[in-house]
Amino acid sequence: MRPTRNLPKPSAMIVAPQPEAVEVGTAMLEAGGNAMDAMLACAFTQGVVDPLMCGIGGLGVIHVYDPATGRHEVLDGLSTCPAACTEDMWAADFEGECTDGYGYRVRDAANELGHRAVTTPGILRNFALAHASYGSRPWGDLFEGAIGFARDGWIVRPHVAGVFATDEASYGRRPYVQKLKYTADGAALYCRPDGSPKRLGDVVRNPALAATLASIARDGAESFYTGAIAANIVADMQAHGGLLSAADLAGFTPRTAAPIRVDYRGRQIAVPAPPAGGIMVAEMLRILERFDLVALGHNAPDYMRVVAEAMKIAGRDKDEHIGDPDFVVPPLEHLLSDAYADDCAARIKRGEKAALTRTLADSRGTTTISCVDRNGMVVSVTHTLGVPSGVIVPGAGFMLNGAMNWYDPRPGRAGSIAPGKRRFSSMTPTIVFEGGKPVATLGAPGGAWIGVAVLQALLNLLDFGMGMQEAVMAPRFSATTDAIDIGNRIPRATQRGLEAMGYAVNRSAATFPFAGVHGISFWDGQLDGGADPQRDGYVGVVS
């Protein structure tokens, strides 16, 4: 007889890629904090224990649904170009796109490494807005866990060790060790005495960051934008030829907006609108609803062909049409229309192959959290440093983003540089509704692979009835070029089937490639969480 599980029914849940951060978020839920409180406490801790992924010098998107008020919105804290930027500032220095499609190369990597790479950080004001709108615990309480790990130390985990050792020279970006050692503060924090990055099991203590977080806990987020921390940032920028100014920091304002909502097989999928990446997921779902995916067979060659073509169409449309809506109005109505979805599906059924000649791959510099509390509030966030700049503000302990790398140095394009402009981001924190009530939430780190990974997790949940853990760890594939990239757990027979259809197929050596999806489902009030095994996190449960 199979043993039965006699575990208490969870009343709240949080999932994220860092065990220390999940621990802090779970403790906040246990202490009576709501989902927003737990997410924020978790996120501040992520900035300590995953310092090249995210932090208070970064940017991000929050997606929240509050059943108590019926409010459902996206809080956009994506960064902006400093006012000193000009469209042609690097036009003469342009050397090409990064070969993984995640950014652009200019001479001396000025848009990636160092002070000129820094955009106006948006995440901390976005977190403050989220707390003021939805939080229940005092602002200062949200920092206790993060301050403790910064002060007392944390151990370098497998994923962090992998990031520290990453060499992205083949993509056209600098090795991460150069970013770790760019400042004396960074070298002291994250490198061994011989200059090599700290390794698995090494301890990182960051008392300067503990002091910075304590000052933000005491004085509020405005200390970062208009107070003592802002003055420190601006002085460092002025000393090293940076673009970011006091006016840029003081003038940054997060945006709130309704999410995009699309129907998919009787459910509603809510995703953030541009310049965040939800449009790609929404468009792919609209196309794929025209197919009986279950009949094709999960990850069978025909299934992969159909889904891959939807990925390529959405990727091409994103490249051509999606940027900052303040500068380039996106044709969302057309891209999500029945007529366009019918036309795209018809082309796929005829065996046509969409052309997508760029090359995209993963970017490690992002993280995510999903949380559901005992009252049904749902919060999902994805935040990042973009491409880490290497700039650690002297004596402050945190790294600033390097998101200028995301802007196209060539004038006249949807993603070109402009003062105050936000860049398209693939971040896609998602909430699924059924009968007007939320039933699942998920998000992922993973740069250009976020959309295709979130899509497949949704298909696994909604079409194939998988639980959340199975859905996020099932073998994935990606079509962000004319080729199809597959994980190493997809059988060779399936690969041969795709090749017989005329596709080039690239097999990844990784067991769990293509972004790192984390999520929670809660059909019939039963919470079920999933953490992608490629990262180090887990599902925190409160009974």
- Comparing CA positions, the residue from 330, 349, 334 lying closest to residue 288 is 349
Q: What is the largest CA-CA distance in the chain?
A: 72
Give the angle subtended at the CA of 427 by the CAs of 94 and 344, to the nearest 5°: 90
From residue 425, give the alpha-carbon distance in Å to each of 244, 328, 346: 20, 15, 29
- Cα–Cα dist 127/112, whole Å: 25
Query: Minimal CA–CA distance to 424: which of 396, 454, 450, 399?
Result: 450
User: CA–CA separation, 479 vs 360, rounded Å?
Assistant: 9
CA distance 379 to 431: 9
Task: State yes or no: is 366 an active-site residue.
Answer: yes
Exactly one of 166, 366, 480, 481 is catalytic; name it: 366
Question: Would you call 477 exposed, middle or buried from its count of C-beta atoms within 10 A (0-12, 13-18, 19+)?
Answer: buried
Task: Give the Å distances, CA to CA, from 300 to 28, 47, 507.
Answer: 43, 40, 16
Q: Distance (Å, rounded) from C-alpha 440 to C-alpha 471?
A: 12
Query: What is the C-alpha separation between 264 and 341, in angstroms, rounded?
Result: 12
Q: Could you count the other beta carbons within 10 Å of the beta carbon of residue 152? A: 11
- 3-state SS, residue 28: helix
The contacts of residue 314 (CB under 8 Å, 6+ apart) are 279, 280, 283, 284, 287, 451
Tokens for 266? 């009787």
Beta strands in 245-321 (DSSP E): 255-257, 260-264, 267-271
The values of phi and psi at residue 125, to 5°, are: -65, -35
β-pairing, 399-401 with 388-392?
antiparallel
Per the structure block, which two tokens stand in for 461?
């949940």
d(CA 431, CA 72) in angstroms, rounded, equals 10
The reply to whether omega before 275 is within 30° of 0 (cis) is yes
How open is the CA angle 458-291-306, to the nearest 5 degrees?
A: 80
Residue 388 bridge partners (DSSP): 401
**Is residue 260 within a helix (H) or strand (E), and if so which, with residue range?**
strand 260-264
Separation between Cα atoms, residue 398 and residue 51, nearest integer Å: 8
Active site residues: 366
